Structure 1
Amino acid sequence: MSGVTTTRGDGAAVLDVDGVGKSYQTGTLNVDALRGIDLTIGQGEYVAIMGPSGSGKSTLMHILGCLDTPTAGTYRLVGVDVGDLSEVELAEVRNSLIGFVFQQFNLLAHLTALRNVELPLAYAGTSRDERRRRALDALAGVGLADRVDHRPRELSGGQQQRVAIARALVTDPALILADEPTGNLDSRSTGDVLALFDELHRGGRTIVLITHEEDVAARAERVIRIHDGELRTGVPLAVGR
């Protein structure tokens, strides 16, 4: 990225959250959505964050994804204090350092799978030949080499989510941030997507998965629970792995 200097090394912390708080003003009422969050996630970790509605997990996801900024504390992503970045630099971080996977897939209906996966590279100014090569590699990596010219309506829900995962991977991000990635999938497609996350984890990817489902969280190596804006660290789980 042109405006952001990053440090990435084996075993280094990808996420370092120190005393992060987030407050909102609603009329005369001050609401503390997050309170003194401390969280470190190392390179190659697979972490699930769980919490009920209103617990603060969505607010935390928005901060981890640089979609929002804390009102207290600091958040460092691969050594970069995101609080020091301009809006332009934050946009660069979101496009290059974070691969997002959402419940709704967020694919553009009029574009093929290949073109959808190419989008982050197009925004980054990557040459046409290079972005095509990298997008084809990413789609092959998620098992969709034979679906590159299909549009979202021609794909199953599970296939659409794999396209979204390929799009998240195509920039070789420091972090995969997945928000309820199986929420719109049937049980078979859920299993396929979770198996893909397992494979990415074995390959050294850093994954943070936001979910309310115990069986989905159980695939991670570490589960962290959030309640009333505060973290409650869980123990490593082996279920389903």
Structure 2
Amino acid sequence: MSALLEMAGVRKTYATGAVAVEALRGVDLTVDEGDFVAIVGPSGSGKSTLMHIIGCLDVPTQGRYALGGEDVSSMTEAQLADVRNRRIGFVFQQFNLLPSMTAERNVALPLMYAGVPRAERAQRAREALERVGLGDRTHHRPGELSGGQQQRVSVARALVTNPTLILADEPTGNLDSRSTTDVLGLFHALHDAGRTIVLITHEAEVAAEARRVVRITDGLLTEETPAHAAGAPVAKGGTP
């Protein structure tokens, strides 16, 4: 396996008036292609800051971050936006679906921003919805879908650009237990199909579904072994 994501000595400091707050204090992290990594930590641990840097929504104050061999540590906003569009598919807690648009049109939005022709956008959006088990919901609007189905639409939108990394930020935070199991099963299916997934969560039981668990505390990382690595069962299911 080759490394997809590499961080070395990453620090992030925020200035609040005369006070400097160090959110990340020398993070080293490597994620290989095809890996499934959960980053878990409580509020204030630096988890959100780390997510923003991994997602190229921010850059480190110090240190190096490379994504797909491309050093993004000191890129401009425009350069970061290009990397996000080409390499990262985002799945958020709030779904971030436009209520007036059908599932198909929501999924096709990243392709519209990329200038993909209309007919190709529609075809690729339908294919992505099929992959997450919603081929029969293409013309439904978000309000006509359950929470779990809306999150599946969000996953389809993340997949439609064929990104090198899927970055999921608290993807089960607004779901009931049944929908949580359903969405985690989908992530397992995507991982089994070779996708690289980084899951950000504050829930230890959700993090334990990943192949690797990395805990962040006070801006520092420690790695743990998920329970299933020692033989406990892992939730499976979903559509690859």
Instruction: Write the letter of the residue equivalent to 1:199.
Output: A
2:69 is the counterpart of 1:79: yes
Structure 2, unpaired ranges of 5+: 235-240
Q: Number of residue pairs matched?
A: 231
Shift of 1:85: 2.9
Is contact 1:223–1:237 with CA below 8 Å preserved after alignment?
no
The one of 102, 108, 126 aligned to 1:112: 102
Structure 1: distance between partners of 2:84 and 2:152: 20
Structure 2: distance between partners of 1:211 and 1:125: 33
Shift of 1:84: 4.3
Is contact 2:6–2:31 with CA below 8 Å preserved after alignment?
yes
Structure 1 residues 117-196: aligned runs within 5 Å? 117-196=107-186
Q: Once the two structures are aligned, what percentage of the paired residues are identical?
A: 65
Is contact 1:219–1:240 with CA below 8 Å preserved after alignment?
no
Is contact 1:225–1:231 with CA below 8 Å preserved after alignment?
yes
Instruction: Write the letter of the residue equivalent to 1:140.
Output: E
| Aligned Cα root-mean-square deviation (Å) | 1.0
Is contact 2:209–2:226 with CA below 8 Å preserved after alignment?
no
Shift of 1:199: 0.1
Deviations 1:110-165 (A, max 9, x none): 11100000011111111111111111100000000010001101111000000000
2:201 is the counterpart of 1:211: yes
Shift of 1:236: 4.2
Deviations 1:11-40 (A, max 9, x none): 221100010000011111111000110000
* Structure 1 segments (4+ residues) deviating >6 Å: none
Instruction: State the SS of the aligned residue for 2:96.
Output: coil
2:86 is the counterpart of 1:96: yes
Shift of 1:92: 1.5
Structure 1, unpaired ranges of 5+: 1-10
Structure 2: distance between partners of 1:17 and 1:156: 37
Instruction: Write the letter of the residue equivalent to 1:135.
Output: A
Name 1:24's counterpart in structure 2.
14
Name 2:27's counterpart in structure 1.
37
Q: Which moved more, 1:188-197 or 1:90-99?
A: 90-99
Question: What TM-score do you get using the length of structure 2 for normalisation?
Answer: 0.94
Shift of 1:218: 1.1
Q: Which moved more, 1:162-171 or 1:129-138?
A: 129-138
Is contact 1:18–1:74 with CA below 8 Å preserved after alignment?
yes
Is contact 2:59–2:74 with CA below 8 Å preserved after alignment?
no
- Mark the CA change 1:65 to 1:236 in structure 2 (over 3 Å): closer, same or farther: same
Structure 1: distance between partners of 2:108 and 2:218: 39
Shift of 1:240: 4.1
Name 1:53's counterpart in structure 2.
43
Structure 2: distance between partners of 1:187 and 1:124: 36
The one of 56, 68, 73 aligned to 2:58: 68
Q: Which moved more, 1:123-132 or 1:163-172?
A: 123-132
Structure 2: distance between partners of 1:240 and 1:123: 41
Instruction: State the SS of the aligned residue for 1:83.
Output: coil
Name 2:223's counterpart in structure 1.
233
Structure 1: distance between partners of 2:142 and 2:49: 29
Instruction: State the SS of the aligned residue for 2:109.
Output: helix
Question: What TM-score do you get using the length of structure 1 for normalisation?
Answer: 0.94
